[in-house]
């Protein structure tokens, strides 16, 4: 599938942008340099007649993206949260991609439900509405359980969505390969690996059984979080193409007028959504990775309700500590420590100058502090960060792609609620709390206890491991010299001692 025939898909992309009038909008929004503008025009104008027409009732860019397919729509959803990058007007236009896409026929949804759950819709639900929301991958219907009368949300995948996504992703692979071929310097950003990561995430989103599992885990992790709700999944009414959740009533987080009319404090909501994301990422290592306005509501009591758990992020504890130390260093303006953390984690090659890197980080961080958020151009900031990372040979960390992307989205959501929000001031309590609990003497003792517990589980197997190693060594012609520390047996005896010490630590702690 990932062959040269995907060139057609790339040509059609440019042609569709040109035909819909979105090409100029995109180039202007991203302040594209003259050379890129020329290439885009050369590739777009001659093939304009091949472009997809899309819905003429939509603005140019939403029209082009909806015509091109699900992967492009996902890209537009992310841009809709960044008015500081694409401008307020374009961000507002793109927001319709979040939950106001054209639905597919209700009859098709009913057929998919009956096929998946092997029962007539009337036997499952006493009422089944027309679509109440339609997104790039699925649409939602409101229904009432036949047995209990409980209101529920029934999510159904779009017909043929898997094939459509594979078509888009295959074209992305070709584009990534072309970028790497044309610009060898781009290889450090691992474009192909980034697309591979994106593919794995999207393929998981297309199995609603996985989304139901994610919703259940996320609800368990956040059960004690004040001001936050997660709908519960109904497993007996869920499958690969269908998922049923308890109904969540609320005002869309993207509708500022409705929030104001309901008496909600938008400044408080902006701070809460940012702090909740950081708390989930740092405390649990498991976070909602698609937190745009279309997936968030506000309940009557002011709680934020999360929806759509198809894309969730997970990071290990070590990476969480690195991420927290980097954030904490920026908050404290300790750029030397931020640089050290980058080197310790292997994010920057060891042959680079740490002092010079610290100075570069200062030039990125200092403009943020003490400045009204509305005066910060995130587009220029991201551009400068790219220059810094290129200069110091930093490579894209594929395991952090979701974390980085979600941080951008969440900041955009918070800023849409409160344009004057200072993300560093709001983040500080959460990051400092995590640092107190996870970096320092208390964390060392906890790590030792866990290490002891792990080592103690291997205690019963230790004699057999030593005996097997000795037998292998005795079968070899090389003579054993136990007193030499570099021999395998010598290391095994040292390991035995460390394991015994670990067992004692585990029992003591």
Q: Catalytic site residues? A: 290
Whether 406 and 291 have beta carbons less than 8 Å apart is answered as yes
Q: d(Cα 140, Cα 21) in Å, to the nearest integer?
A: 31
DSSP 172-216: HHHHHHHHHHH-GGGGGG-HHHHHHHHHHHHHHHT-HHHHHHHHH
Alpha-carbon gap, residue 160 to 70, rounded angstroms: 11
- Listed in sequence order, the residues at least 6 apart from 100 whose beta carbon sits closer than 8 Å to its beta carbon are 133, 134
Task: Specify whether the CB–CB gap between 429 and 276 falls below 8 A.
Answer: no
**How, if at all, do strands 151-157 and 242-246 pair?**
antiparallel
Pairing of strands 304-306, 228-229: parallel
Percentage helix, strand, coil for the chain under 3-state DSSP, each rounded to 5: 65, 10, 25
Cα separation of 380 and 386, whole Å?
A: 10
Task: Using alpha carbons, select from 19, 28, 24, 13 the residue that is nearest to residue 73.
Answer: 13
Angle, CA 91 vertex, CA 85 and CA 96 arms, to 5°: 150
The set of residues, in sequence order, having a beta carbon less than 8 Å from that of 314 and lying 6+ positions away, is: 285, 286, 287
**233 secondary structure, DSSP code:** B
DSSP assignment of 84-147, as one string? HHH-HHHHHHHTHHHHBSPPPPHHHHHHHHHHHHSS-HHHHEEEEEEEEEE-SSEEEEEEEETT
Cβ–Cβ under 8 Å, residues 114 and 138 = no
The order of strands in the sheet holding 151-157 is 125-134, 138-145, 151-157, 242-246
């Amino acid at each position: 599938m990932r062959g040269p025939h995907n060139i057609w898909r790339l040509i059609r992309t440019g042609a569709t942008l040109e035909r819909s009038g979105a090409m100029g909008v995109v180039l202007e929004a991203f302040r594209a340099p003259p050379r890129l503008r020329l290439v885009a025009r050369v590739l777009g104008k001659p093939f304009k007649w091949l472009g997809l027409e899309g819905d003429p009732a939509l603005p140019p860019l939403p029209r082009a993206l909806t015509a091109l397919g699900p992967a492009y729509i996902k890209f537009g959803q992310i841009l809709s949260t960044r008015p500081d990058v694409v401008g307020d007007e374009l961000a507002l236009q793109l927001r319709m991609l979040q939950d106001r896409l054209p639905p597919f026929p209700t009859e098709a949804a009913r057929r998919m439900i009956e096929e998946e759950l092997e029962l007539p819709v009337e036997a499952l639900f006493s009422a089944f509405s027309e679509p109440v929301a339609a997104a790039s991958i699925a649409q939602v219907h409101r229904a009432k359980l036949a047995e209990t009368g409980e209101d529920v949300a029934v999510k159904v995948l779009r017909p043929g969505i898997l094939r459509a996504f594979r078509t888009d992703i295959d074209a992305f692979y070709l584009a990534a390969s072309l970028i790497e071929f044309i610009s060898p310097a781009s290889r450090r950003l691992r474009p192909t690996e980034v697309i591979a990561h994106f593919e794995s995430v999207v393929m998981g989103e297309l199995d609603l059984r996985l989304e139901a599992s994610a919703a259940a885990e996320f609800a368990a992790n956040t059960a004690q979080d004040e001001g936050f709700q997660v709908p519960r999944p109904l497993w007996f009414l869920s499958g690969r193409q269908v998922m049923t959740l308890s109904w969540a009533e609320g005002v869309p987080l993207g509708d500022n007028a409705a929030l104001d009319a309901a008496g909600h404090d938008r400044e408080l909501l902006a701070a809460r959504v940012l702090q909740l994301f950081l708390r989930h990422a740092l405390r649990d290592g498991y976070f909602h990775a698609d937190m745009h306005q279309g997936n968030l509501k506000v309940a009557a009591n002011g709680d934020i309700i999360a929806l759509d758990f198809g894309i969730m992020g997970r990071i290990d504890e070590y990476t969480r500590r690195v991420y927290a130390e980097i954030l904490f260093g920026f908050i404290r303006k300790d750029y030397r420590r931020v640089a050290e953390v980058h080197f310790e984690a292997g994010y920057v090659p060891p042959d680079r100058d740490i002092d010079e890197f610290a100075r570069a980080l200062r030039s990125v961080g200092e403009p943020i502090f003490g400045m009204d958020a509305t005066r910060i151009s995130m587009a220029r900031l991201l551009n400068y960060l790219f220059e810094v990372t290129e200069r110091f040979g930093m490579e894209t960390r594929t395991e952090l792609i979701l974390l980085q992307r979600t941080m951008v989205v969440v900041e955009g959501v918070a800023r849409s609620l409160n344009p004057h929000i200072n993300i560093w001031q709001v983040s500080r309590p959460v990051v400092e709390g995590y640092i107190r609990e996870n970096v320092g003497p208390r964390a060392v003792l906890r790590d030792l206890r866990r290490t002891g517990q792990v080592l103690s589980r291997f205690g019963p197997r230790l004699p057999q491991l030593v005996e097997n190693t000795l037998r292998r060594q005795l079968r070899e012609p090389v003579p054993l010299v136990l007193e030499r520390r570099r021999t395998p047996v010598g290391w095994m005896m040292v390991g035995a001692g460390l394991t015994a010490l670990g067992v004692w630590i585990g029992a003591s702690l």
